[in-house]
Structure 1
């Protein structure tokens, strides 16, 4: 059996999306789930009673699971508890919901996901859509960096589906060169860099699954455009910390990128061994 998948739940109805996706992925990978709830102490309730209620709620949520699972309830902040469980379980993936922290913008902009991406020793899958089908395509935005290549490899190893690689380019020096010449220069640079990127020996095992595109666009728009090729896509970005997710797709602000993309997003921190 392969390494387990860790999935977070806050015991609310909003957490059904990450749970459903985690079950689907565990079935595909033939692995078990570790379902984690971080218990925050309440002044109006005895801790033992809190633990009992949380366990009863968890057991009700997982009673129809079709895969092996383990329940973990730990005291502490959700990001810290999740990172600790991922490390202890040697997990392949951690799955969280986009609405886990009050509102999607709170989740992406807050320190909670920052901590999780920085500390969890596994890629983080942010589930935004209700799972209806297994993922049938990966869309990776690339800036042609080594970090981006590692994100491609990590995603390709996790999900055995086609990979669409897209570079969003702009028009360099439009005032000096003119709009048409600037567009051609941007397109030429992107094509040349894409060829160099794909020639990397590290990507050789995956080339049969990769199609690539260069498009004049903002980064999130490029991913959204090519995600339409699939019925159930997952977007992929690479990072070596929350502040660096922005660098992956030509300088986009992380908050803008992650909130603008409407699909599930896999964040692969640099330095992880996929």
Structure 2
């Protein structure tokens, strides 16, 4: 995905709390800045009571040391105040196309996100958030996107293909047969599969991912739970980045796609690009 000869058109902002596991999102942010290519901005928000010059100098030195190991230049911004508000405010002020963030510890991603500043950033940021869980050993080379054919999932896919221009995208839909406990039959399942397939074809057409530079698009319809189907596709295709859309009103809505987004964040082991659809 290297575009080192292309002019820098994008801006990535990495939000760091300077804890031990921030090396993973830091390395990913640096790698993306080199390969997209993009300008890199690093933002750290000082905790309450650490607003002195010494705290600013220490945070700046810590970031500069890691940048030196990455052989990367970046704009460093140290903020004071509410973590979530300052991260979003800074990302908007620098014109960021992507916010890169990490998780606090190894484990289920949902356990690490729910109720944390990262959850609130995902809910409220108008800018896509890349949640980095894994080490950046390789570039991203394939996007796997979950969809229920909703507007938020369509918006997420379009944003992903703009940020990661040129990468192929594999769109996944999982389905169940309504009232299958009472109506289950192989014939009925195949009828629903056909119906879902036709919806997928229409959905992909409406994305309008065509023309010069358009990504290669593939798609699949499978019977089963969304998390299981998406995970199977990730394993089969050896993908390391999953795309999901979220609703931006008070957290993940308790509807089909909101529940799906939360389940994927909790269950999928890859890095995740979470995209919130802007309110109309």
Give TM-score, length-normalised by structure 1.
0.88
> Contact 2:109–2:267 at 8 Å: present in 1 too?
no
The CA distance in 2 between the partners of 1:102 and 1:138, in whole Å, is: 23
Gaps of 5+ in 1: none
Q: How much has 1:168 moved relative to structure 2?
A: 0.6
- Cross-structure match for 2:4: none
CA offsets, 1:172-217, max 9 Å, x none? 2224433323322331221121121122163334875111100112
CA offsets, 1:213-245, max 9 Å, x none? 001121111211111244442100112326346
Other structure's SS at 2:167 match: coil
- Cross-structure match for 2:194: 188
Q: How much has 1:141 moved relative to structure 2?
A: 0.6
Cα gap change, 1:254 to 1:208, in 2 (>3 Å): closer
The CA distance in 2 between the partners of 1:209 and 1:246, in whole Å, is: 33
- Cross-structure match for 1:271: 278
Q: How much has 1:126 moved relative to structure 2?
A: 0.3
* Aligned pair partner of 1:152 in 148, 151, 157: 157
- Cross-structure match for 2:247: 240
* Aligned pair partner of 1:78 in 75, 79, 83: 83
Q: How much has 1:257 moved relative to structure 2?
A: 2.3
The count of corresponding residues between Structure 1 and Structure 2 is: 270
Q: How much has 1:64 moved relative to structure 2?
A: 2.6
The CA distance in 2 between the partners of 1:245 and 1:213, in whole Å, is: 25
The CA distance in 2 between the partners of 1:210 and 1:97, in whole Å, is: 28
Q: How much has 1:167 moved relative to structure 2?
A: 0.3
Other structure's SS at 1:32 match: strand
Other structure's SS at 2:259 match: coil
Cα gap change, 1:101 to 1:176, in 2 (>3 Å): closer
CA offsets, 1:120-140, max 9 Å, x none? 231000011111100011000
Residue 172 in 1 paired to residue 178 in 2? yes
- Give the alignment's Cα RMSD to 1 decimal: 2.7
Residue 135 in 1 paired to residue 143 in 2? no
Cα gap change, 1:99 to 1:70, in 2 (>3 Å): same
Gaps of 5+ in 2: 1-7
